[in-house]
């Protein structure tokens, strides 16, 4: 990864800007920690090559190369694309301990991580489609994510 990706600045826009650019479900998921319905979301069975970025801040989060079908109804990834763009927090909202996953710069609620994923990490990042924007590999350069083109060559 080049220095441009490492130093690119990502930030959370104002609440007014977020409200104006997101749909209700995108806003509820990212800002109010809602969960979209399983199997009825944009990326649960999406197979195109590219990367998934935070819909709020644009920070790169996951790659299609690490996406797998876990059968849970939400997109699942075995690892983050950029580890330091993910923040894990303890979540006790359902009276069981889970690990919430948030974007570092956008502070968007993304979903949860579980320890029942495939090797080599054994992790399953179960992510709401509504928190993501997909960038196809052929659009990476024009969208400002050229540093990730090498993943798909």
How many whole angstroms from its chain centre is CA 94?
Answer: 22
126 noted as active-site residue: yes
Contact 46, 134 (CB under 8 A): yes
Instruction: Examine residue 105 and say whether the peptide bond preceding it is cis (omega within 30 degrees of 0).
Output: no
Tokens of 98: 């889970």
Contact 62, 43 (CB under 8 A): no
Please identify which of the residues 22, 126, 130, 135 carries the catalytic annotation: 126
What are the catalytic residues? 126
């Amino acid at each position: 990864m080049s220095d441009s990706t490492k130093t690119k600045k990502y930030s959370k826009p104002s609440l007014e800007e977020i409200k104006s650019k997101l749909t209700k479900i995108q806003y509820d998921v990212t800002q109010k920690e809602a969960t979209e319905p399983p199997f009825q979301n944009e990326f649960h069975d999406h197979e195109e090559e590219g990367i998934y970025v935070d819909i709020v801040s644009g920070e790169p989060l996951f790659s299609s190369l690490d996406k797998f079908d876990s059968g849970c109804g939400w997109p699942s990834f075995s690892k983050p694309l950029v580890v330091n763009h993910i923040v894990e927090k303890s979540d006790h909202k359902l009276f069981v301990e889970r690990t919430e996953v948030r974007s570092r710069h956008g502070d968007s609620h993304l979903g949860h991580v579980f320890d029942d994923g495939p090797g080599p990490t054994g992790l399953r990042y179960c992510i709401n489609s509504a928190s993501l924007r997909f960038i196809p590999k052929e659009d990476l350069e024009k969208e400002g994510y050229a540093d990730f083109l090498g993943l798909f060559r």
